[in-house]
Amino acid sequence: MLPPAANAAGSVLIIGGGIAKDCSEAVIRGRYDNDTMRLCTTALEIETLSLGDRARTLVNRGVIQLRRQAYVEARADFDAAGRIEPKLGEVYVNRGAALVAEDRFAEGLSEIDRGLALGVEKPERAYYNRALAHENLGDVKAAYYDFQRAAELDPKWAAPKEELARFSFKSR
């Protein structure tokens, strides 16, 4: 049985100060409630943000949408962030996570690869989501190696270890 793609994990960004920073910190703590959504939206609407901070706040709001399984809205935020800062790896790994969660595995894989090539702050999330895509596309070996890489990058994160426990090998 393949893992549910809805387990896709978002990659959050830490940014400057003010409301945008409060948004970032709430998302890092795993929050995705209405108050956190309002916080991020308020930061985008009323704060004077640098272009980089605006892009990162859009990514963080997109992660909230991703956690809420509002994938279309999440991708809209990631797309908006990408128009502002096209070399921000988190844009692509998070868009890829949303696509994986929507069972659009090949598209998700391509986006995640692009984000990893640009560099991200939390690559373990990208490897985990890429593993989900690989497995659902039938490339079990690549999935195993990506789950393993995610576990190596964040040894305290249980999710990749739980996925690795499902694998067994036979000698030839």
Q: Hey, what domains does the chain have and what are their CATH numbers?
A: 5-123 (1.25.40.10)
% pLDDT > 90, the chain: 85
Q: Whole-model pTM?
A: 0.87
State how far the Cα of 153 lies from the Cα of 47, in Å rounded to an integer.
Answer: 34
The string over 102-136, giving b where at least 16 C-beta atoms fall within 10 Å of a residue's C-beta and e elsewhere, is: bebbeebbbbbbebbeeebebbbbbbbbbbbbbbb
Listing DSSP states for 4-62 in one string gives PGGG---------SHHHHHHHHHHHTT--SHHHHHHHHHHHHHS---HHHHHHHHHHHH
pLDDT in tens, 37-58: 999 999 999 999 999 999 999 9
In this structure, what token pair is assigned to residue 2?
């393949």
pLDDT in tens, 114-142: 999 999 999 999 999 999 999 999 999 99
